[in-house]
A = this chain, B = another copy of it.
Amino acid sequence: MIKDGLEDSVGTESVAAGPPSYINRKDDYLRRLRRIEGQARGLQRMVQEEQYCIDILTQVSAMTRALQAVSLGLLEEHLSHCVVDAAARGGAEAQEKVREASAAIARLVRA
């Protein structure tokens, strides 16, 4: 099911525990995502006004880089909190978290 532009995360098999690692910087992430939303609206206006393709491509690249920066930030916090905490607790959970994070990294690299 798709709702509000979000794909179902069926298959992600989250092994979450505790609060998300980005919680201390929640406002920062919300601000960056609002700016990215604004970039998506700006792109629609450029297409609506029939602006030059290459200028539109330049904006798409800027927006892609902004999204990548969000990903890399979230990932670092995830490793720093969720993965490190699971490892400190010991047991099989840490390896499961590493597998899950590695799959997310592969999706980012191959996006």
Contacts of A4 in B (CB 8 A): 38, 41-42, 45
Majority-rule SS of A interface residues = helix
Task: Give the distance in Å from the alpha carbon of A48 to the alpha carbon of B31 in the complex.
Answer: 11
Q: Do B109 and A72 have beta carbons less than 8 Å apart?
A: yes
Q: Do B41 and A5 have beta carbons less than 8 Å apart?
A: yes
Contacts of A41 in B (CB 8 A): 4-5, 37
Q: Do B64 and A19 have beta carbons less than 8 Å apart?
A: no
For the complex formed, measure the closest distance between the CB of A8 and the CB atoms of chain B, giving whole angstroms.
10
Pairs A–B under 8 Å by Cβ, sample size 5: A5-B38, A68-B109, A79-B83, A108-B109, A110-B111
Question: Which B residue's beta carbon lies closest to that of A111?
Answer: B64
Task: Give the distance in Å from the alpha carbon of A2 to the alpha carbon of B41 in the complex.
Answer: 13
Q: Which of A54-84 contact B (CB under 8 A)?
A: 54-65, 67-68, 70-72, 74-80, 82-84
For the complex formed, measure the closest distance between the CB of A84 and the CB atoms of chain B, giving whole angstroms.
4
Out of B5, B14, B50, which one reaches A36, CB within 8 Å?
B5
